[in-house]
Amino acid sequence: MYQILVVDDEARIRSIIKKYAEFEGHAVTEAGDGMEAVRLCRKERFDIIIMDIMMPELDGFSACREIRKISQTPIIMLSARGEEYDRINGFELGIDDYVVKPFSPKELMLRIGAVMKRVASAPAQDKAQKKQNVIIELDGGGLRADVTARIVYIHGERVEMSPKEYDLFFYMLDNRNIALSREKLISEVWGYDFYGDARTLDTHIKLLRKSLGEYSKYIVTLRGVGYRFEGEN
C-alpha cells in the first residue's frame, strides 16, 4: 500500500484518482493547490505525489521546486497541456513522470506502480554496482562514467544531470552500439509498457544531449526506430 498525495485544484480529478487508488488498496491525501501540498509534505511522509501544473496559489512547478528542497518523494506531473517546455521544465526539476490530461486512470495507476518499482529496486542496484566498481572511459577519457557512483565527467569536470537523465545515459552506455527502439528504452528505463508516449523519451534525449555537450554526437537517432549510443566497447 502506498501513501499517495494527490494535488489538483479540480475536485473531480482528485476524486477520480482517489477512487482508483483506493480500489487498489492505497491511501490518498488530497490537496487543492501547491501551497497546501508543500505544507502537507513538511508535516507528513508520502510514497508518491501526483501533481497538477496549473493551480492557484502556487503552481505545480513551484510546488515541486519547494518539495525538492525537503524531500525526494517521487512526483508524477499532470498537465492539460502537452508542450515540450512543460515536459523539459518538469524533468529538469526532477519529476519522475509526466501525464497529459485527459488521461486514463488505469494507465496512471500503472505508472504509479512503475515509478514505485524503480524506487524499490534502486538500493539493490546500488549494492550491485558497488560490488562491480565499473568505470567506463570514452574518447581517451574525455568522457568518463563512474557507474558505481553514477557520476559523469567531461574533461575532468562533473556533469550534473537529472535522475532520469542518469538512468537513460547509463542504460544506453551499457548497451552501446546496439539499436534501441523507443519501446525498448521506455520499457527498460521508465519501467512500463509503451503507451505511445515517445515525447517523454525524446525530451529526455534532448536534455541528455545538452548535458553531454560535445559528446552528444555519441547519441545517434535512428529514424523510425529509436536511438543508438555509439562508443568504444
C-alpha 55: how far from chain center: 22
Q: Does a structural domain hold residue 168?
A: yes
**Block residue for cell numbers 538500493:** 123
Q: Are residues 157 and 108 in the same domain?
A: no
Q: Are strands 97-100 and 27-31 parallel, antiparallel or unpaired?
A: unpaired
Tell me, yes or no, if the pTM score tops 0.85: no
| 230 confidence band (pLDDT: 50, 70, 90) | very high
What are the b/e assignments for 79-111, b being 16+ CB within 10 Å?
Answer: beeeeeebbbbbbebbbbbbbbeeeeeeebbeb
Please tell me the total number of residues recorded for the chain in this structure: 233
85 and 141 inside one domain: no
The predicted-structure confidence for 143-160, as pLDDT tens digits, reads as follows: 999 887 889 999 999 999
Q: Could you tell me if residue 121 is inside a domain?
A: no
Report the distance separating Cα 189 and Cα 187, nearest Å.
Answer: 6
Final residue belonging to a domain, choices 58, 84, 116: 116
Residue 124 forms part of a structural domain:
no
Query: Are 27 and 107 found together in one domain?
Result: yes
Among 147, 149, 153, smallest CA distance to 135 is for 147
Task: For residue range 8-42, list pLDDT tens digits in order.
Answer: 999 999 999 999 999 999 999 999 999 999 999 99
Range of the domain at 16: 3-116
109 and 152 in a single domain? The answer is no
Grid coordinates standing for 59?
Answer: 503552481
Same domain, 15 and 99: yes
> Do 192 and 107 share a structural domain?
no
Name beta bridge partners: 221.
227
pLDDT score, position 196: 46
Q: Which tens digits make up the pLDDT trace of 86-122? A: 778 888 888 888 888 888 999 899 889 988 887 776 5
For the chain, what is the mean pLDDT? Answer: 87
**122 inside domain:** no
Among 55, 84, 116, the domain boundary falls at 116
Residue 170 sits in the same domain as residue 79: no
Domain count, the chain: 2
